[in-house]
Chain A
Amino acid sequence: MIKFLIKGILRDKSRSLLPVIVVSLGVFLTVFMSGWMKGVFGDMIDMNANYSMGHVKIMTRAYAENEEQIPNDLALLDVSSLTEKLNKEYPDLEWVRRIQFGGLLDVPDANGETRAQGPAAGRAVDLLSAGSKEAERLNIPKSIVKGRLPQKQGEVLISHEFAERFGVELGDDISILGSTMYGSMVVPTFQVCGTINFGMAMLDRGAIIMDITDAELAFDMCDAAGELLAYFKSGLYDDELALAIREDFNNKYSDEADEFSPQMVRLRDEATLKQYLDMADNMSAMMVSIFVIAMSIVLWNTGLLGGLRRYTEYGVRLALGEEKGHIFRTIIYEAVIIGSIGSVVGSALGIGVSYYLQENGIDFSAMMENVTMMMPTVYRAKVTPELFYIGFIPGLLAMTLGNALAGYAIYKRKTAQLFKELEV
């Protein structure tokens, strides 16, 4: 019987083609949109994790309260000892120190006089230690436009846009007008070894990247760090584990009465990011729900039209001794076959396009010149295992549900009444 049904489906294009197209299109949109959203939100999440949040982050309670002001005077102290403890207690995590700072970049001329000045956001990470993943984590090697990574102390990278604007060349000296963690003004000088384009409007306007040891020396922050970030060694953010670690750490180390006591936050605690993550989850669920409802209605009508067109066939089959229940079941079998074909085609197309956009992405930089949020300018889709079923199951479900609703009308008719309507 199944063979008989498949022959019918393959030969009767009006029975199969439209539903397959409808299901394929719906599944394609669901899979692609899901992959696209996963990619876009995933990029934002990764970017936030890599650049500022880590999977979990430790700051002093006071620093955390004024984090947007980068108050290095409230930085963590005795970081080596803390890191040692953390490595023992949380072996799933890899800990890194970060120092952020703001200041005025001063570009001197040949005589040491100021040639140009501009505000800059600085970031000090571990670039020189053997085995450090920080450069890759911040995507620095791929973001270098000219020059190279710092190879020794005293070398820095600056944003390419800043360098172009102020005519800074590789090998030029630049100074930073800033302050130490104890409040004294300092003007350390560094040599530019490369320019960098992050692809993030906010950073590309004026950024300086240096090794953490340079920042420690420049800002008098020996064995101190504004932030202590940690990443799961698996590379994947695990929210449940992050939550458990946060609770454990804060119970052990954080003291509400001591503003210098350390406090841990997880990636999802970042307010904007939390909204993004919640929105991503909700949108995926909403999209799948809307798809199933909309497709079911469309396919219900398609099924009804198909059912009307095939009334004669059903009548003949009744006369030949097929039960109404069996006819209903064959309608469902057909729906499952057509739904499967449509879902496979739709999923393959959706995954294919998502993969293409994962590899190539779409560059929105021209539209984001004035954006101040930390967000990527090149958006990519992301192919995840979820894409293999997120469209397939709803596609199959919608087709089956639509046809079941249409078939139910036939099933509920009295045989004689149906036979009359069938006009056999």
Chain B
Amino acid sequence: MNDMIIELNQLTKRFPVGSGFFTALTDINLEFGKGEFAGLVGPSGSGKTTLLNIIGSLDVPSDGSATVMGKSIASLNQKQAANLRNHNIGFIFQTYNLLPVYTVYENVEFALLLQNMSTNERRKAVMQALEWVGLTDKEKSKPSMLSGGECQRVAIARSMVKKPEIVLADEPTANLDSKNSHHILQTMQKLNEELGVTFIFSTHDEKVMQYLKRKISLADGKVVNDELVSMLQ
């Protein structure tokens, strides 16, 4: 039985540029299993974010295939792609992207509003997510009242509240100082271990790399190295 939740086969992504095309990813073959804590590392323009976008069903491959949770990304219509993101994939962004006019509680709750959960169920799930990231005392605060580290913890809670199988984190520590970066990474590591959620990072931050169990190096849209870090250490 295949227990891979993400399978990328001969994946190529091209973008139209002028009269020609720019190839962002070439022949990517990767698989991710449940509970992985992996990172896509490489310089800017190496294709990390494009790959995350395809895994997150925000984009489709030009050639090859990407299968996430048993669903071919290329064959999903808009509604099915949104449904996949809503139930199975969480996103964490470099700049947190919390909605400024809503409280911490409401920011985390938003993901559940799309799932037609009852108020009580939502309340329970939001408080649990805030507990995971240690922010239950900040539920009524607005993002502007929080530190950068706290904002990113809210973003983690928001991505985790719907208990997704996969969390995609695009440079999650880029705007954080060292102490907060470690705190964030430890939080995600704990969630990975306790809940078995697959985390895939896009990063070139050395601090993040210390925590990765698998490091996939990209350069010019190609996988140049794929290693299991914990096994090497």
Contact = CB atoms under 8 A, between A and B. Distances in A.
A binds B: yes
A8 B101 contact: yes
Contact of A323 (B82, B91, B99): B82
**Secondary structure of the A contact surface, majority rule:** helix
B81 A319 contact: no
A320 B78 contact: no
A8 B85 CA distance: 23
B211 interface: no
A322 interface: yes
Contacts of A326: 82, 114
A321 to B, nearest CB: 2
B53 interface: yes
A225 B113 CA distance: 79
A423 to B, nearest CB: 8
Contact of A320 (B53, B59, B158): B158
Nearest to A9: B101
Interface string B72-100: 00000011011111110101010101010
Nearest to B54: A416
A15 B99 CA distance: 13
A270 to B, nearest CB: 59
Contacts of B110: 4, 317, 320
Interface residues of A, number: 25
Nearest to A8: B101
Interface stretch (A153-161, A308-316, A350-358): A308-316
Contacts of A15: 101
A424 B93 contact: yes
Interface residues of B, number: 28
Contacts of A1: 113
Interface in A71-121: none
A329 interface: no
B132 interface: no
Contacts of B106: 4, 7
B58 A320 contact: no
A380 interface: no
B56 A319 contact: yes
Contact of A415 (B58, B84, B87): B58
Nearest to B91: A319
Nearest to A315: B97
Contact of B85 (A312, A320, A416): A320
Given A4-B110, A321-B111, A323-B79, 8 more contacts: A318-B82, A319-B85, A320-B85, A320-B110, A321-B84, A323-B82, A325-B79, A326-B114
Interface of A: 1, 4, 7-8, 11-12, 15, 312-313, 315-326, 415-416, 419, 424
21 contacts: A4-B110, A8-B102, A11-B101, A312-B97, A318-B82, A318-B85, A319-B56, A319-B85, A319-B93, A320-B111, A321-B85, A322-B82, A322-B86, A323-B79, A325-B79, A415-B59, A416-B53, A419-B53, A419-B59, A424-B91, A424-B95
